[in-house]
Amino acid sequence: MTASRDPDRLLQRAGVRGNPDRDQHFLVDERVLDRLPTYLPADADRSHVLEIGGGTGALTDRLLATSDQVTVIERDPDLVAFLRQEFADERAAGHLTVRQGDALEIDLPADATASVSNLPYGVSSEITFRLLPLGIPTVLMFQREFAERMAAEPGTSEYGRLSVSAQHYAAVEVVEPVPPEAFSPPPAVDSAVVRTTPRAPDYEVDDEDFFLRFVKAVFTQRRKTIRNAIRNTAHISGLDDPDAVVAAADEELVSKRAGDLAPDDFAALARLAVERGGTDG
């Protein structure tokens, strides 16, 4: 199969226009669309690709050309009806499934092997953290600022809770900046494509839910030392005895600020917190 559908003509046939108030910006730059599937890792299993937010099918068309099976989740019922009609042959052949629903609420296909998506920016974080635990490679479009924070390294201004949480599940790379003119209508921000490649972290976490909650808590006070951040955010992390954690921790570590800690530092502190501080679950 080869991609053959022009994104502007798809918009015309669908009879829709993007609506910024509904976080609706259609990707129409064919060069970007053509590149998106190629950003999956070379050894990625493309047998079943999940697309969140199919829109009028410009990216769907490219995914069908490079994958055995595609599942599209689209919230807008009018666009779902259009996709089902536009891709009737591909659906009949068993290559495409179009599901109506909110990607934050409906079950994602358990057998998906990868995801390539132009995400609605307003819920991009929530959707990303539904995808990352699946352990599949992804190629996702984000606001550029969000993308850079996902991939940020410790000690940089962009590094934060998002960086640690995303990189807990995968290697994260910004692979292409995308200007507003690539969309219809153009958004008010620059965009960027991010590739995530699943990998096991190089540290151990006994309680993943607590680890992520602990990271979130500490970064709410990123200007404070870790010592004070742990003490001040026990109501978020759920620690019963934050002072015991601080007393047991390495002095050099708790004297730093959150933005200077590597993910394995957070993991060590989270393990200590569970051992010494007690949690409310």
- Residue stretches of the annotated binding site: 25, 27, 53, 74, 102, 118
> In the block, which residue shows the tokens 């690539």?
182
How many helices and strands in the chain, by DSSP H and E?
14, 9
Sheet hosting strand 48-52, strand order edge to edge: 96-100, 69-74, 48-52, 114-118, 138-143, 191-198, 170-178
List, as residue ranges, the binding site for S-adenosyl-L-methionine.
25, 27, 53, 74, 102, 118
- Rounded to whole angstroms, how far apart are CA atoms 68 and 48? 6
Query: What letters, b where the CB count within 10 A reaches 16 and e where it falls short, cover 11-34?
Result: beebebebeeeeebbbbbbbebbe
